[in-house]
Amino acid sequence: MMQIIYFGRLREQLQSSGEKLEYSAKSGSVRGLLEQLCQRGEPWASALDGRATVLVAVNQEMAGAETALADGDEVAFFPPVTGG
Amino acid sequence: MKAITVQSEPLDIAAEQNAVRGSDAGIGALVSFVGLMRDINDGAKVYRMTLEHYAGMTEKALAVIVDEACERWPLAAVRIVHRVGEMQPTDPIVLVIVASAHRSAAFAACEFIMDYLKNRAPFWKKEYTAEGERWVEQRASDRDAEGRWINR
């Protein structure tokens, strides 16, 4: 299983703060996972489709589209940060 | 001393400064930055704000920034306190205290830490105006500010 987490605007658009997802080789990278989520249709497709900036962290470290995923990973999606 | 706290309680700036000051008699300079909540943003009056964060990652991301500052400058102490949750205008949001033997390192490192925090620490602000609530957008000037440290 993978733990997926959503923050900020994404959490509201998806009406979800996170979910558990079965790991599959298809979602073996961040890009693969994003494609899998977008295939669900709305609201995933417009929230995650790349028109708005979406950042990703894997196991609490900043990651990119090509970052590999493994079973048990924690993957967080969020908008650009606005702290300070 | 390197210490990072994310808290919903108000910041006690003087107490934090005194704790850093007393931690090392070799400290000759103590620089503090306090980020405050304003009552106006992007032309609208803001009545309150909520700040959410990615518990766990936030502390790690801040620790990486502190470590990088300590590699770049000879620092005696770094203290970061960041608030989350509900805030009102004039409330302190973030406190960064940097101490060193001499002031130049402390000034530079404090600015560096804030520039990196603005781009790398997973916090998100939502503000409440007369027109309703809205997520705060990241400023281009904050992204640019991080870049100026790359070659220094």
Q: Is A62 on the interface with B (CB under 8 A)?
A: yes
ipTM of the complex: 0.93
Where residue B38 sits, what CATH number does that domain have? 3.90.1170.40
- Looking at the domain assignment, is residue B152 inside a domain? no
Tell me which residue in A8, A60, A80 faces B60 most closely, judged by beta carbons. A60
Q: How far is residue B95's CA from residue B28's CA, in Å, rounded to a whole number?
A: 19
Please report the pLDDT score of residue B152 as a whole number. 63
C-alpha torsion sign, points B20, B22, B25, B31? positive
What number is the average pLDDT over the span B39-53?
A: 95
Q: What is the pLDDT of residue A54?
A: 93
- Please report the number of interchain residue pairs, chain A to chain B, with beta-carbon separation below 8 angstroms: 69
Q: For residue B52, what are the domain limits?
A: 2-21+28-147
- Evaluate whether residue B63 is within a structural domain: yes
Question: Per-10-residue mean pLDDT for chain A, 84 residues long?
Answer: 96 96 89 94 90 91 95 97 97
What does DSSP say about strands A2-6 and A74-78: parallel, antiparallel, or unpaired?
A: parallel
pLDDT at B68 over 70: yes
Domain extent listing, chain A: 2-78
One-letter amino acid of A12? E
Q: In Å, how far is B98's CA from the nearest CA of chain A? A: 16
At residue B39, the pLDDT reads: 96
Q: In b/e form, how buried is each residue of A2-37, taking b as 16+ CB within 10 angstroms?
A: bebbbbbbbbbbbeeebeebeeeeebebbebbbeeb
Whether residue B138 is contained in a domain is answered as yes
- Band (pLDDT 50/70/90 cuts) for residue B151 is low
Does any domain span residue B109?
yes
Identify the bridge partners of residue B49 per DSSP, sorted by sequence position.
Answer: B87, B127
- Chain B residues whose beta carbon lies within 8 Å of the beta carbon of residue A60: 54, 56-57, 60
Domain count, chain B: 1
Nearest to B135 among A8, A57, A84 (CB): A8
Query: Is residue B36 included in any domain, yes or no?
Result: yes
Q: Do B94 and A83 touch (CB under 8 A)?
A: yes
Region B32-42: mean pLDDT is 96
Task: Please determine, for residue B3, whether its predicted confidence score (pLDDT) is greater than 80.
Answer: yes
pLDDT for residue A49 = 81
Which amino acid is present at B73?
A: W
Q: Which residues face B30 on adjacent strands?
A: B99
* pTM attached to this predicted model: 0.94
Q: What is the pLDDT of residue B1?
A: 93
Digit-coded pLDDT (tens) for B119-136? 999 999 999 999 999 999
Is the CB of B52 inside 8 Å of chain A's CB atoms? yes
Interface membership of A23 toward B (CB under 8 Å): no
CATH class of A2-78: alpha beta
CA dihedral of A51, A5, B59, B36, whole degrees rounded to 10 = 60
Kindly state whether B124 is in contact with chain A, defined as any CB-CB distance less than 8 angstroms. yes
Residues of A in contact with B52 (CB under 8 A): 7-8
